[in-house]
Amino acid sequence: MDGAAGRCSLLLTVTADGKPVNAADVKVHIEYGFGGFHRLDLEAYTNADGQLKFTGLPAKVHNPPLEFRGSKDQLGGIATFDPAAACEGKHDLPLEKQTPQQ
């Protein structure tokens, strides 16, 4: 998934119970530029290895770190990434059973 907003990238590996999750939905909302004036919403699905790569991320974002929210069925999880600290990232995003919020 190319955001076309910068030179940074993040490779995510989505897992559940230590196994890769195919077709997990991962979303991120990015605010960047002066005062967070520019906004970008990206969404992509993992491959059979539970991986996906976001490219074209801006190096400076408003209110870092970015929160990548993954989900599949009743599973969910969050991975954080600050492109200013490390422009090229590689993180795991473990999914766990989510409890309904009241």
Give the model confidence (pLDDT) of 25-39 as tens digits: 999 999 998 776 899
* Domain contains 2: no
The confidence score (pLDDT) of residue 102 equals 44
* Domain contains 28: yes
Domain of 48, in residue numbers: 8-92
Percent of the chain with pLDDT over 70: 96
SS (H, E, C) 35-84: HHCEEEEEEEECCCCCEEEEEEECCCECCCCEEEEEEECCEEEEEEECCC
Amino acid symbol at 83: P
Give the model confidence (pLDDT) of 55-74 as tens digits: 999 999 999 999 999 999 99
- Picking from 49, 52, 1, the residue whose alpha carbon sits closest to that of residue 22 is 49
Tokens of 75: 């599973």
* Domain contains 100: no
* Domain contains 101: no
Q: Is the dihedral of CA 59, 3, 76, 96 positive or negative?
A: negative
The number of domains in the chain is: 1
Domain of 68: which CATH number?
2.60.40.1120
Tokens of 39: 């906004």
